[in-house]
């Protein structure tokens, strides 16, 4: 079993819809949670970085962390065709030894 599970999709939704992207994890040692967006032929771009359980909002994006369920989500409101990309979740274990674990990435397609 992988430490971080993420459905690779593709996920196809119409423009304007609310998108929900999710990751689950098995190790309660993960303390820091990130969402990255990666366009074709580009490096991953950091979208959201959170530490505690709860919600963090940035424009049309909301990151949600539920540590008790070991579940994180990224919501995109009013989705646009320009949001079409691969979204990767990533997690860092707490402590002095830096270790970042990646999800598989979900390919998102927003249809005009």
Partner 1 sequence: SAVISQKPSRDICQRGTSLTIQCQVDSQVTMMFWYRQQPGQSLTLIATANQGSEATYESGFVIDKFPISRPNLTFSTLTVSNMSPEDSSIYLCSVVFGNSNQPQHFGDGTRLSIL
Peptide bond before residue 10 is cis, with ω within 30 degrees of 0: yes
Joined tokens for residue 6: 């993420």
State yes or no: residue 105 binds partner 1 (CB under 8 A).
yes
Tell me the CA end-to-end span of the chain in Å, nearest whole number: 37
Query: Whose Cβ is closer to partner 1: residue 103's or residue 108's?
Result: 103
CA distance 19 to 16: 9
59-98 residues near partner 1, rule: CB under 8 A: 88, 90, 92, 94, 96-98
User: In sequence order, what are the beta bridge partners of 76?
Assistant: 19, 61
Least distance to partner 1 from the beta carbon of 16, Å?
27
Eight-class DSSP state of 81: G
Least distance to partner 1 from the beta carbon of 107, Å?
8
Q: How many residues bind partner 1 (CB under 8 A)?
A: 23
In the complex, which residues of this chain contact partner 1 (CB under 8 A)? 31-32, 34, 41-46, 49, 88, 90, 92, 94, 96-98, 100, 102-105, 107
């Amino acid at each position: 079993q992988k430490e971080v599970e993420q459905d690779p999709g593709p996920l196809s939704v119409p423009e304007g819809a609310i998108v929900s992207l999710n990751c689950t994890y098995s190790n309660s040692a993960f303390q820091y949670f990130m969402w990255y967006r990666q366009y074709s032929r580009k490096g991953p771009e950091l979208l959201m970085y959170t530490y505690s359980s709860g919600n963090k909002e940035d424009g049309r994006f909301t990151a949600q962390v539920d540590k008790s369920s070991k579940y994180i989500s990224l919501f995109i409101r009013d989705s646009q065709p320009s949001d079409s990309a691969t979204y990767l979740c990533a997690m860092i274990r707490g402590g002095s030894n830096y270790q970042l674990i990646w999800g598989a990435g979900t390919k998102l397609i927003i249809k005009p």
